[in-house]
Structure 1
Amino acid sequence: MEYLMGFMRKRPGIASEITRHSLMRPVISVVLSVALSACAVAPGMRMSAPATLPGGSGASNGPASEAQVPITDIDINLIQQIRDTDTHANEDAVRQLFARAEPYTLGVSDVLQVTVWDHPELAAALGAQPQTSSRPYDPGQGFVIDTAGNIQLPYAGSVHVAGLRIDEAQRAIHAALSTMYVKPQVTVRVASYRAKQVYVDGELRMPGAIPINDSPMTLYEAITRAGGFSSSADQSRMVVVRNGVSYPLSLPHMLERGQNPANVLLRDGDLLRVASRDDYGVFVMGEVNKPVTAIPMKTGKLTLSEAMSQAGSLNNATADAAQLYVIRGVAGNTPQVYHLDAHSPVAMVLANQFELHPKDVVYVDGNGLVRFSRVLNLLLPAINAGLTAAILTK
């Protein structure tokens, strides 16, 4: 001790350094305490299941519990339950659109071509021959059914044909011409179908109005005559609007259940709309290689594994595979959160079967080391500032 005191008397600078470090020690202790305590509140979105009451309920009393959302682990039973719910919802809408095709009945604005053999003088009543450059929606050559449902025949006068089948209209016209001609040979055909039509909209190659003709206007017929689906069409999200009521349809689901889409019969005035896949994306964020809005397949399906694949999979350096979450129903009143521990190989099987819904949020949390590193990055400026202030003070 005497030797040390003598050494300090000979070197007075050493004493001041020791004193200064002794004064800085409390500052360093306080900064480290704050850093370590901040590890428990590291920034991020880590989720935890709500506390369970003794009675088995997953919620507790108080304002804090009202904001909690239950977290459900993804397993085979959950996947089957969600799949059954989605299937039954579509079956009810499909059944209401099933109908048998009936013969076409004439209506207002239809154009009839009436041919009376051996009487060429009646051909002039059909009108001039159409031009080769005529537009598709121009009426054909013939007799137009007026708003009263009649056509005007030379010599025979007015004949009511609206609401009749083609064979019935032919008999009615034959009876009218028989008053003027002896045993006339009459042929009647529809030159232009304009009385009834359906409307197609959305992701089809040729959207617009499609006239209903003598071929039944089934779901397949409407899609085919509209040029088929476009490249961005979502075949699982089609809607038929009839009399102000919307009926959702899913073509892949119908085929899976053995239901023939040709049994879906469209009626006059129906609207068929095919949605775009871009409108039903899933948001993938967190510790993934490429945060992205995952787009469903053409069939409308998008599993959890497919969404992760579009996001470039997990970030091996920062992701915690045990903390993979699917947040559903954020905009509704009953949000749900599903959790998957992706450490196990079995989890990949579950992820490949768990189908996502539009606007779902897939979130991957970071691991503990990354969270701690981010806390230190936030605190280092404060630590440096504290040390600098202590040195300048002394």
Structure 2
Amino acid sequence: MLKRLKKLSVQATHRPRGDRAFRLSSMGVAVVLCSMLGACAVAPGMRMMVSGGKTAQRAPQGAGAGTDAAGTPPTTQVADATPATPEVAITELSVDVVRRMQEERVEKQQEQVKLLSPAPQPYTVGAGDVLQIVVWDHPEIAAAMGSTQSQQSTRPGDPTSGFVVDQAGDVTFPYAGTLHVAGMRTEEVQKHLSAALGKYFVKPQVTVRMASYRAHEVYVDGEVRNPGVVAVNDVPLSLYEAVARAGGFSDTADQSDLVLVRDGVTHRVDLTRMLASGTSPSRLYLKPGDLLRVVARDENDVYVMGEVNKPISAIPRRTGRITLADAIAQAGSVNSSTADAAQMFVIRGSLSGTPQVFHLDGRSPVAMLVAKEFDLQPKDVVYVDGNGLVRFNRVLTLLIPAINAGLTAGLVAK
């Protein structure tokens, strides 16, 4: 093709001055040729632009670790900065890096368990609770509870027969008057009531127990079979018990991502890792007013793009875990014809935080072990870059039609 272009250009120098069409077509071919040579440096298509030469900031992991034979720190690549994005260091994935990240997650999980598993507190009376109060040897006082004492409530919302604690936290009882009982345990209410009745009866024998627990509740929402309100009673309510009362996890639930909102603070609970580390979820007790939401798996998907057979939004397994190998497998594996196995990237982060970029050289068999153990996080982006020959071939595919058109115009003019 280059010989043909050279021949046309030589012919153009010997053509008469009046043959403008041929000269213009030859000039067009020359311009297209220059564009083709320049386009090889800026091949079209999406790709990860990286540069090297910066020293890694990671601390050594052992004697001799983190340095080469000369004792100098290793170098790492960085993602090239643009006017809209900052320069981000690229972390090379290895067995040691993946193991260290797993250990850090275990430590954070243990700290979270300690934070969310205080000793359960005894149940205290609150507004809306129904108390059953019996004064022995004084059956006339039982009439204060009304004629519904032995009848069943006709509607689910009706309170059980007894003395209802009003919204101010008070209860009214014959002879004793109005007592403020909110925040007390049943045995404390019994002592205060016995003291109040002692003014009218000789050593009154009083029994107080809860007839209906209605004051304290937790809310379970999201991917459970029966979302709604779960009442808290005198038995401490664990996280697992709350999910069980809500019907258990649905088929679309992500068991690794439970959102617990307590006192205005949001905590992310990973049941899958807790069980894997030997920590029982029954150690996490809920408090009245807690909100527990089970996230759906399709909300925690990851994006796989680039030179894969089927770009896809990969969904975690039922346990909520998804590794780099899982995501690539769901995308139909890398494209063996166009992918560069040495250029596999994971982009993590958001606009509000510091982004992270991980790089995996998939040419080594050990890299597959790393990919199998490297856990992805929700909304991660997995990108597989293309090889240089494919990008050059795409340049030719775009430019050859223009070159052929120029050559055809030159031959027609000739």
Common fold by TM > 0.5 = yes
Alignment match of 2:111 (pick from 84, 92, 99): 92
For the Cα contact (< 8 Å) 1:238–1:248, is it kept in 2?
A: yes
Give structure 2 stretches of 5+ with no counterpart.
Answer: 1-10, 56-71
Shift of residue 151 of structure 1? 2.2
For the Cα contact (< 8 Å) 2:54–2:76, is it kept in 1?
A: yes
| Closer, same or farther: CA 71–184 of 1 in aligned 2, 3 Å | closer
| Closer, same or farther: CA 152–27 of 1 in aligned 2, 3 Å | closer
1:12 corresponds to: none
SS of residue matched to 2:362: coil
Alignment match of 2:385 (pick from 358, 365, 381): 365
Q: Distance in 1 between matches of 2:81 and 2:295?
A: 40
**Counterpart of 2:126 in structure 1: which amino acid?**
G
2:88 corresponds to: 69
SS of residue matched to 1:51: strand
Q: Distance in 2 between matches of 1:64 and 1:251?
A: 40
* 2:332 equivalent to 1:312: yes
Alignment match of 2:403 (pick from 383, 386, 390): 383
Trace 1:249-264 onto structure 2 (pairs within 5 A). 249-264=269-284
Alignment match of 1:248 (pick from 246, 252, 268): 268
1:335 corresponds to: 355
SS of residue matched to 1:89: helix
2:45 corresponds to: 44
**Counterpart of 2:347 in structure 1: which amino acid?**
I
* 2:125 equivalent to 1:106: yes
Q: Distance in 2 between matches of 1:93 and 1:167?
A: 34
| Closer, same or farther: CA 160–26 of 1 in aligned 2, 3 Å | closer
Shift of residue 362 of structure 1? 0.7
1:300 corresponds to: 320
Give structure 1 stretches of 5+ with no counterpart.
Answer: 1-14
Q: Distance in 1 between matches of 2:121 and 2:89?
A: 52
For the Cα contact (< 8 Å) 1:48–1:71, is it kept in 2?
A: no
Trace 1:3-82 onto structure 2 (pairs within 5 A). 31=32, 34-52=35-53, 67-82=86-101
For the Cα contact (< 8 Å) 2:26–2:410, is it kept in 1?
A: no
Q: Distance in 2 between matches of 1:70 and 1:138?
A: 63
Q: Distance in 2 between matches of 1:72 and 1:99?
A: 38
**Counterpart of 2:226 in structure 1: which amino acid?**
M
* 2:249 equivalent to 1:229: yes
Shift of residue 35 of structure 1? 3.5
* 2:254 equivalent to 1:218: no
* 2:155 equivalent to 1:134: yes
Q: Which has the larger radius of gyration?
A: 1
RMSD: 3.5
Residues paired across the two proteins, number: 375
- Give the alignment's TM-score, normalised by structure 2: 0.78
Q: Distance in 1 between matches of 2:352 and 2:97?
A: 20
Identity between Structure 1 and Structure 2 (%): 52
**Counterpart of 2:402 in structure 1: which amino acid?**
A
Q: Distance in 2 between matches of 1:169 and 1:30?
A: 96
